[in-house]
Amino acid sequence: MTPFFSWTGTPTVHDSACGGSKMKGLWSNAALSTDIVCASTPYAQNVSRITFDHRQRYGWRKNNARPTLRKDSLTYSANSAADVTKGETAMRTSLSKEERTEQSFETTTNGLIRCEDGLLRPEWAAAPGLLRDYYDTEWGVPTHDEREIFERLCLEAFQAGLSWLTILKRRDAFREAFAHFDPDAVASFSDADLERLAHNPSIIRNRRKIEAARTNARATLHLRESTDLPDLPALLWSYAPENPQRPRSISELRPTSPESIACSKELKKHGFAFVGPTTVMSTLEAIGVLDRHIEGAYSPVTA
């Protein structure tokens, strides 16, 4: 195993790390003022490069930046945070007093991180916090519950272009705003309700994504009430592979798959919106249709 990286003190981001004013605004819009989203090249024999990843989606990466250790901060330089993907995240800048001690992690040859509790996890779930809690208890756990699947589909759509951590921080607010993602309730939202949500500072105020939630709720009801179509859970689970195999390495992960591409087309055919192949891929992973736990990694499914 090779060392991942270590720091002393609280990591900070310099303006150059955000690629100038344009990227600086992007990070601000993503509400990442207390979270730096970054990642190493996981499967490199000698981990020495860091990539910014504002979208935090699995797959290929661009725009490498080299870390520079200083006395009380970890600084970076990078060209852009665009075009990088979901599972590549994350150390928090808001460390507790106890956490502000020297920390180090090790990475295995297949790109997993050996965490302080001895368990192997992907980089995006390596640090204690919301992301690890989500990975340890929810991500990839099979569910056939319509409400849960509708929630994941909506939240993955809201996440597009942002970090998953941003969504997790607002999850309770999202649930309150969208009637706990009850498809029947969301389908009945009026235009005035959508306008109210578009001014709700506790959620992501993207009008198209808000409208898509109502559109997808109505499409979910249509599938449920149809006599010749599968309901939403059955439709998504119909894309589960017959002989599922877990990835052997981080390098095998991709932002889309044949299943997500086909499922995306089917959902669009039935009136769903904001369901591109990448969003659908993340949803299929989240609900356990596609098992993307790396071999050897901790998984709540097999724990």
Neighbours of 235 (CB within 10 A): 18
Judge whether 153 and 209 are in contact, CB under 8 Å: no
Task: Assess if residue 181 is contained within a domain.
Answer: yes
Average pLDDT value for residue range 211-233: 97
Task: Assess if residue 67 is contained within a domain.
Answer: yes
Here the tokens at position 229 are: 């179509």
The number of domains in the chain is 2
The reply to whether 133 and 40 lie within a common domain is yes
The reply to whether 214 and 260 lie within a common domain is yes
At residue 242, φ and ψ (nearest 5 deg) are: -65, -40
* Residue 82: pLDDT over 50: no
What confidence score (pLDDT) does residue 144 get? 98
What confidence score (pLDDT) does residue 253 get? 96
Q: Which of 118, 137, 156 is a domain's end point?
A: 137
* Residue 72: pLDDT over 90: no
Q: Among 33-42, 132-141, 153-162, where is mean pLDDT lowest?
A: 33-42
Task: Assess if residue 299 is contained within a domain.
Answer: no
pLDDT, tens only, 271-285: 999 999 999 999 999
What confidence score (pLDDT) does residue 303 get? 67
The reply to whether 130 and 162 lie within a common domain is no
Percent of the chain whose pLDDT exceeds 90:
64
The position carrying tokens 């649930």 is 175
The reply to whether 119 and 225 lie within a common domain is no
Average pLDDT value for residue range 90-96: 34
CA distance 62 to 47: 15
* Nearest residue to 92 via CA among 172, 12, 161, 5: 12
At residue 278, φ and ψ (nearest 5 deg) are: -70, -45
The reply to whether 117 and 178 lie within a common domain is no
- Three-state secondary-structure class, residue 234: helix
Range of the domain at 242: 146-286
The reply to whether 246 and 268 lie within a common domain is yes
Task: Assess if residue 102 is contained within a domain.
Answer: yes
Judge whether 269 and 220 are in contact, CB under 8 Å: no
The reply to whether 152 and 208 lie within a common domain is yes
Judge whether 22 and 81 are in contact, CB under 8 Å: no
The position carrying tokens 């601000």 is 28
What confidence score (pLDDT) does residue 134 get? 98
Q: Which of 84, 118, 137 is a domain's end point?
A: 137
pLDDT: is 68 or 143 the higher one?
Answer: 143
pLDDT: is 98 or 122 the higher one?
Answer: 122
Average pLDDT value for residue range 50-79: 34
Beta-sheet pairing, 64-65 with 74-75: unpaired
Task: Assess if residue 63 is contained within a domain.
Answer: yes
pTM recorded for the entire structure: 0.69
The reply to whether 37 and 72 lie within a common domain is yes
- Three-state secondary-structure class, residue 183: helix
User: Which residues carry out catalysis?
Assistant: 134, 156, 164
CATH at 250: 1.10.340.30
pLDDT, tens only, 154-198: 999 999 999 999 999 999 999 999 999 999 999 999 999 999 999
Q: Mean pLDDT in the chain?
A: 75
The reply to whether 151 and 129 lie within a common domain is no
Task: Assess if residue 291 is contained within a domain.
Answer: no
pLDDT: is 33 or 123 the higher one?
Answer: 123
The reply to whether 168 and 71 lie within a common domain is no
The reply to whether 195 and 129 lie within a common domain is no
Task: Assess if residue 265 is contained within a domain.
Answer: yes
Helix (H) or strand (E) holding 269: helix 258-269
Average pLDDT value for residue range 3-13: 36
